Amino acid sequence: KAGVTQTPRYLIKTRGQQVTLSCSPISGHRSVSWYQQTPGQGLQFLFEYFSETQRNKGNFPGRFSGRQFSNSRSEMNVSTLELGDSALYLCASSDGSSGEQYFGPGTRLTVT
Amino acid sequence: DQQVKQNSPSLSVQEGRISILNCDYTNSMFDYFLWYKKYPAEGPTFLISISSIKDKNEDGRFTVFLNKSAKHLSLHIVPSQPGDSAVYFCAARDTGANSKLTFGKGITLSVRP
């Protein structure tokens, strides 16, 4: 089975712009979760989508949003980018019940 | 408030010896625990997990121990190999929180040849 894929791998944006990141889960997995990793921090949970519905949400401002399509692919959108949004954004897929999540390689976002 | 804590930021061990990575948690509702390994510029790789109804799970060179009363878990790697050098994250799932995982800040393991 192919693993979790994320596009793009690297992105440079300017403050105030918006960005959309994409994630394709492992075939058959219906749950997609998004995490943010910044230097000195662990991975922080953004949100989870299961069968096109947001099932969990972390403590991030409303500028961070997401969606999931019928084929389980997911997108994450960040509007009005701030310098502090510079981070590695990781997507993880799971079957939604076992607890084990499998991560993609991440998208490195740099905001200047 | 950090619910999953990895208090030692780094660990260095000799090749062939045992590596013991520790993790503490505060949330009594956590029912499932996982360890991930991460290399630079890559996503975390799942290593091993344990349910709260068990106290030990073993997979090859990796063993995870859970002490619920102490809210403590540890990952043992025996024998350690230079390729094990990476950042290790401890993660926990809250009962009923579906796929949401809470991660510690990670431990950098260096295995010296």
* CB proximity list for B73: less than 8 A, separation 6 or greater: B22, B23, B25, B33, B50, B64, B65, B66, B67, B90
- DSSP code of residue A82: -
Local confidence band at B104 (pLDDT 50, 70, 90 cut-offs): very high
Q: What is the pLDDT of residues B44-100, one digit of tens each?
A: 999 999 999 999 999 999 999 999 999 999 999 999 999 999 999 999 998 776 678
Percent of chain B predicted with pLDDT > 70: 98
Q: What is the pLDDT of residue A71?
A: 93
Contacts B1 to A, Cβ<8 Å: none
Q: What is the pLDDT of residues A58-96, one digit of tens each?
A: 999 999 999 999 999 999 999 999 999 999 999 999 987
Q: What is the pLDDT of residue A96?
A: 74
Choose from A23, A94, A97, A100 for mutation: most chain B CBs within 10 A.
Answer: A100
Task: Please give the residue that has the higher pLDDT: either A100 or A102.
Answer: A102
Instruction: Reply yes or no on whether the pLDDT at A103 is more than 80.
Output: yes
* Beta carbons of B76 and B62 less than 8 angstroms apart: yes
Q: What is the pLDDT of residues B46-55, one digit of tens each?
A: 999 999 999 9
Instruction: Reply yes or no on whether the pLDDT at A1 is more than 70.
Output: no
Mean pLDDT over each residue of chain B, to the nearest integer: 93
Task: Please give the residue that has the higher pLDDT: either B2 or B19.
Answer: B19
Interface touch A99/B103, C-beta < 8 Å? no
Q: What is the pLDDT of residue B97?
A: 64
Residue of A nearest to B33 (CA): A99
Q: What is the pLDDT of residues A24-44, one digit of tens each?
A: 999 999 999 999 999 877 799
